Amino acid sequence: MELVKNLYRAARENKRRHLVEATLGFSVAVCNALDLALAGGKAKVLETWLKGMDEMEKRESSRPGKRLMSARALEWFQNLPVSKREA
């Protein structure tokens, strides 16, 4: 039974990673299309988007350890198995 659970978890993780890769690829494609249409292909749109993502990540990491969600809610949103036992 443990093997089946582990294979199921691995399949879900692979599916989630595939979705993330597809989303990132689509985002870059849209940024490149916008750049070509709006900035003449000078890579300004993608550069601005990447800077914005870095700034957002820095803001989130600079917070003083305050959790916005409970551990159980975070596991649910990350599509991980939720343990019924409290740690």
Check residue 65 and give its pLDDT: 60
In a domain, 19, yes or no: yes
In a domain, 8, yes or no: yes
d(CA 24, CA 29): 9
pLDDT top residue among 70 and 22: 22
Burial of 46: CB neighbours in 10 Å, binned 0-12, 13-18, 19+: middle
SS3 call for 41: coil
pTM tops 0.75: no
CA-nearest of 63, 87, 83 to 75 is: 83
Q: Which two tokens stand for residue 1?
A: 């039974």
In a domain, 51, yes or no: yes
In a domain, 31, yes or no: yes
pLDDT (tens digit per residue) in 4-62: 888 899 999 889 888 888 888 888 888 888 888 887 777 777 778 778 878 877 776 66
What is the number of structural domains in the chain?
1
Domain extent for 15: 2-77
In a domain, 87, yes or no: no
In a domain, 66, yes or no: yes
Residue 67 has pLDDT above 70, yes or no: no
Radius of gyration of the chain (CA): 19
